[in-house]
Amino acid sequence: MDPAMPGARMFAASAGVARMVSPWILACSFLLCSSSFLDAGTEGAIGVNYGMLGNNLPSPAQVISMYKAKNISYVRLFHPDTAVLAALRDTGIGVVLGTYNEDLARLASDSSFAVSWVGSYVQPFAGAVQFRYINAGNEVIPGEAAPNVLPAMRNLEAALKSAGISVPVTTAVATSVLGVSYPPSQGAFSEATSPYMAPIVTYLASKGAPLLVNVYPYFAYAADAERVQLGYALLSQSGASASVTDGGLVYTNMFDAIVDAAYAAVEKAGAQGLELVVSETGWPSGGGGVGATLENAAAYNNNLVRHVSGGAGTPRRPGKPVETYLFAMFNENQKPEGVEQHFGLFQPDMSEVYHVDFGSSS
């Protein structure tokens, strides 16, 4: 948590790591209240995170069949699972494959372990599974594991290269890596995270690999619902009345503003041209949280799919589609009680929680 923002709130993260409301959230809320390597192509790519923290979820084969039936072209896995990877063979579904956070220290210090990891989870499936990225860790910066991220990335890339496999290696971060995020053009990494993030984004830029960023307007709204306008957080047309102007760029929704704050941060760190992938975003449909309703969840995710699929990009990067992964496929009953159990698009019995139209997202 940024010490300069004592009002920031902390929330449980999707992978069991603390998620924090970015300083952008609190700063913008005070203004909003005053106004009533597969190419993604020319359109934005939309995927869905496949979380597995449930004891009643469908089999991997059933889940991957759902992805195909619902026209979901990309999947993100938080950790390797050979049954899921086997189900993904010859489907054409793009795959983001994560490591366990607990494995980062060994991946960083032991190159032979990285070779073994690639030999177990990538090499047997290469060719038949369309790997988009390998992400070393999820939301571990800032934190004790932060120094392990870049060495783990380097070892994984070396192991992939040794195996003759070309897959970009990256990491996923929360917006808590930002120390300044409002206005978006002033986005910058915090003093605590910059020593790790600056070399990571420089490395990624040198490899032509993107940085994965988890973006949650929901937590912004929940932190200060009296002052953050709901339409602005939901990407609704009504959000235009709460638009923010930043150096001639106009932001009509919070999603774009957060993404552009992250773009500004990587540019200030010297990684000009680095692409961002939104590796998580979503809105809970229940669980007792502020604004956590079926109506709002359906509005956010459908508005987001339309927004991203159009390929317009963000005000800072117009015309640059933002590859985006919704969180998550299912309501997961082994996540912390409350809203964390209600981010799913589907129930464990495979029925819809609410409808999301992926028809134009591929």
Residues 6+ apart with CB under 8 A from 10: 1, 18, 19, 20, 21
| Beta strands 94-98 and 178-180, pairing class | unpaired
Other beta carbons within 10 Å of 254: 29
Torsion of CA 258, 307, 352, 132, to 10 degrees: -70
Name the token pair of 294. 């079926």
Q: How many CA atoms lie within 13 A of 172 on its CB side?
A: 31
Active-site residue set = 139, 280
Query: Is the distance from CB of 304 to CB of 282 less than 8 angstroms?
Result: no
DSSP class of residue 125 equals G
Sign of CA dihedral 356, 322, 210, 168: positive
Torsion of CA 77, 78, 81, 83, to 10 degrees: -40
Helices (H), 278-344: 294-309
Query: Is the distance from CB of 48 to CB of 74 less than 8 angstroms?
Result: yes
Return the CA Rg of the chain. Answer: 19
DSSP lists the bridge partners of residue 172 as 138, 212
